[in-house]
Amino acid sequence: MSQSAVLAELVDVELEVHRPVYTRILHPLTLRVGRSTSLAVVGPSGAGKTTLAAILGALQPPSGGTYHFAGANIADLSRKESARFRNLNIGFVFQNANLIDERSAWRNVAIALTDPTLERRAVEQRCREALADVGLQAIADREAALLSGGERQRVAIARAMVKNPLMVIADEPTGALDQTTGRDVLALLYGVTARGATLVIVSHDPYAASLAASSVSLVDGRIAE
Amino acid sequence: MANATADAYLSMTSRPVRTVAMIAGILLAVASTSAAVLIADTQQAQIDLRFDAQRSGHVMIQARAPQPQGFTPEAVRQIEGLSVASEAGELSIWRESVPVASSPFTSAQSVPLVVASASGLEASGTSPVAGARLDTIDLMPAPNAVVWIGATLARRLGIRDRLQSVWIHGRSFTVAGWLQNDSGFEYINNSVVMSSATGRQHYGNGDLVRLLVKVRPGSASAVGEFAMSTLDPTGQQMLADVTPPDGEVLRANVAADVRRVGIGLGMFVGLVGMVAVANTLSMAVQQRTRELGLRSAMGFSRARIGSLILLESAMAGLVAALMGAALAHLGAYLWSASQGWEIIINPLLAPTVVAAGTFFSVLGGIVPAYRAASVSPLTAMRS
Ligand SMILES: Nc1ncnc2c1ncn2[C@@H]1O[C@H](COP(=O)(O)OP(=O)(O)OP(=O)(O)O)[C@@H](O)[C@H]1O
Ligand SMILES: [Mg+2]
């Protein structure tokens, strides 16, 4: 992989916690993720997949090692800086779509557009477009609580993509869906690479992982070869 | 800012019951404070109106036409005979200002010239501090040049000995005694006083011819009416009841007390309201941990998540305060209307209580806002 093709580069990244007891969740690991590609993270429960995704998404600073994203060092960012970093670069899709139930679909997408200088009209326009991209233009005004599981997850994908992030991180995105619905959602998710984003997908589902350009397998906090 | 406001507005309207619970305390506080102040002010105006008529211990009747004969002694005796009246007598301001000097060569002081009878002076609470007894003023033989002077004027003129003379308009008068008043007619302390006969002899008709009646408090208006019809049954003298409004100090105290009670009560309810805001928002923050974690994951900074909650508390406080103030004004207006009173509205009241209500609400939002800002973005992933 050439240097310019690398989006995220983790070198000797590790994570230890000291509370409640000293635990080493991730052993030092080195990992490179390319631009506009997809990476599956697989492994048994408790292996550290979510933890790795959290570090990649700058939700959690590593306790050792270096993490460069598009050439910039992410590992030592302050909380405020990493919030800004996430805001600009990362889209998240969670197992449960994590929508605000009382708000309409487009207003849930709007949560991701945090820039206070954006005009309300422009925000709504962009959100509706993002929903159209996932085939939900018809239900943009429906309250999130009324949406089906598959629709919720598609709203979440629209929310992740509305900012055109460089990386989309999805943790068990189909874990709560039936097979058919899951496949539709996977198709949409993998579609983000065609729009210049890198997809990191954490999944138990061999089919979901098999779609990825590359994969990494974690066992007990280490990369298993 | 507009987006943030819309965001807070959505959070509030999507949970209306919670929002009502949250703002009830502030609403109540603002409403009770405003209502107390409005009613205190309005009622005070009513109390003032009645006090002006009722509280006075004196009745003063003034003639608006020249009185060559003075008040009829028969009528004055009738007024004195009322069970609620004690002394009644003339206490006129014959001239607003006359020049008085202690000798023909010293410079003169400009002081009022009072014409009074012994019972008029007595009714005003004036007492002699030196010299002749008061009743001698009624016993002066007709042509004379005798005066009493107020104690302050005596000092100003440098008079020490009794029976010294003073010069008024260059004419010499014998000083029969000094007078002192501490009961609301203090101008006597700085006046020259002479009998009705002496005043007419030297100065002709008086400027403000008045009859003063000392009455039991509460009966002033009734005695005033009686006095006017008794003194002038035909209405030719054009008498007017000019009973002085006094008791200013008492009035101010009553107003301040009522307001203080209202504001104190309002502050207390306001504190309770603040606790309610803090409580409700704390609970809301707990319920919304997932949403707040999500926002944090989406890249909201801690400051923005905190200000989201603070903005909510500010908006809730503002809405509550506006509603409370409106409610109080409406209530006080209806109440005054039902009493047939004109409502007194201090224009500063509404802005003040609205600002205070919002302030208390924001104060209540601080701890929940801090807790909200502390929600980790990881909760988005692990919930
Ligand atoms: N803050 C923490 N303190 C202590 N232990 C933690 C903490 N966070 C995670 N762990 C532990 O680290 C391990 C890895 O957790 P992680 O959530 O990354 O696993 P996972 O691979 O995503 O598992 P699953 O497939 O069940 O979601 C688990 O044993 C978990 O209990
Ligand atoms: Mg996991």
The predicted complex's ipTM stands at 0.92
**A87–B3 CB contact, under 8 Å:** no
Among the listed residues A117, A142, A119, the one whose alpha carbon sits nearest the alpha carbon of residue A131: A142
**Ligand 2 centroid from CA A199, angstroms:** 16
Directed axis angle between helix B73-80 and helix B220-231, to 10°? 160
Ligand 1 atom closest to Cα of A172?
A: 27
CB contact under 8 A, B302 and A83: yes
**Mean of pLDDT values over A98-110:** 93
Out of B3, B304, B383, the one facing A118 most closely (by C-beta) is B3
> A165 falls in which pLDDT band (50, 70, 90)?
very high
Domains defined for chain A, CATH in brackets: 3-223 (3.40.50.300)
Measured from the Cβ of residue A145, the count of other Cβ atoms closer than 10 Å reads 11
pLDDT tens for B237-266 read 778 887 765 544 455 556 677 778 878 888
Tens digits of per-residue pLDDT, B119-130? Answer: 999 999 999 988
Tell me the two tokens of residue B147: 């005066």
Query: Is the bond into B368 cis (omega within 30 degrees of 0)?
Result: no
Q: Which stretch of A84-88, A174-178, B188-192 has the lowest confidence by average pLDDT? A: A174-178
Question: CA torsion, points B41, B45, B50, B55, in degrees to nearest 10?
Answer: 70
pLDDT value at residue B248: 47
By the 10 Å C-beta count (0-12 exposed, 13-18 middle, 19+ buried), A171 is classed as buried
CB B297 within 8 A of CB B381: yes
| Tokens of residue B246, six digits | 């006094």
- Which ligand 1 atom is nearest residue B382's CA? 17
Q: Give residue A224 CA to ligand 1 midpoint distance, Å.
A: 17
**Closest protein CA for atom 14 of ligand 1:** A48
pLDDT at residue B247, rounded to an integer: 46
Find all residues with CB under 8 Å of A146, minimum gap 6, and list them: none
**What secondary structure does DSSP assign to B159-194, as a single string?**
--STT-EEEETTEEEEEEEEEEE-SS-GGGGGSEEE
Report CA torsion sign: B350, B354, B360, B363.
negative
Give the pLDDT of residue A108: 95
The angle formed by the CA atoms of residues B362, B367 and B372, to the nearest 5 degrees, is 105
Residue A142, min C-alpha distance to chain B (Å): 14
CA–CA dist A194, B326 (Å, integer) = 58
CA–centroid distance, residue A16 to ligand 2 (Å): 17
**Which parts of chain B have pLDDT scores under 70?**
1-2, 47-55, 162-163, 244-255
Q: What residue in A sits closest to B1 (Cα-Cα)? A: A116
Distance of CA B130 from the midpoint of ligand 2 (Å) = 106
CB contact under 8 A, B380 and A83: no
- CA terminus-to-terminus distance, chain B: 29
- Cβ–Cβ gap B6/A120 under 8 Å: yes
pLDDT band of residue A2 (cuts 50, 70, 90) is low
- Closest listed ligand to the CA of B379: 1
pLDDT number for residue B244: 66
Proportion of chain B above pLDDT 70, given as a percent? 93
Show the ligand 1 pocket: residues with CB < 6 angstroms: A 17, 23, 25, 45-51
Q: Would you say residue A13 has pLDDT above 90?
A: yes
Residues β-bridged to residue B63: B209, B239
pLDDT at A19 over 70: yes
Query: Measuring CA to CA, which residue among B275, B210, B207 is closest to residue B244?
Result: B210
In the stretch 75-94 of chain A, residues with CB closer than 8 A to chain B read 79-80, 83-88, 90, 92, 94
How big is the A-B interface in CB pairs under 8 Å?
73
Judge: B301–A54 Cβ closer than 8 Å, yes or no.
no
Q: Cβ contact (<8 Å) for A92 and B297?
A: yes
Contact A59 B381 (CB under 8 A): yes
In chain A, residues with a C-beta closer than 8 Å to the C-beta of B9 are none
Percent of chain A whose pLDDT exceeds 70: 98
Q: Which residue of B has its CA nearest to A82?
A: B299
Residue A140 phi, psi dihedral angles, 5° rounding: -60, -30
Per-residue pLDDT reduced to its tens digit, A107-123: 999 999 988 788 889 99
B382: nearest CA partner in chain A: A50
Query: Atom 16 in ligand 1: which residue has the minimum CA distance?
Result: A48
Tell how far the Cα of A171 is from the centroid of ligand 2, in angstroms: 7
Q: Is B68 buried (19+), middle (13-18) or exposed (0-12) by CB count in 10 A?
A: exposed
> Do the beta carbons of residue A50 and residue B381 sit within 8 Å?
yes
Q: In angstroms, rounded to a whole number, what is the distance separating the alpha carbons of residues B367 and B365?
A: 6
B311: nearest Cα among B319, A204, B195, A154: B319
Q: Tokens 């009455």 belong to which residue?
A: B215
Query: Which has the closest alpha carbon to B331: B343, B320, B340, B319?
Result: B343
Q: Which ligand minimizes its atom distance to the CA of A18? A: 1
pLDDT at A3: 54
End-to-end CA distance of chain A: 19
Question: For position A209, what pLDDT does the model report?
Answer: 94
- B335, B299 in Cβ contact below 8 A? no
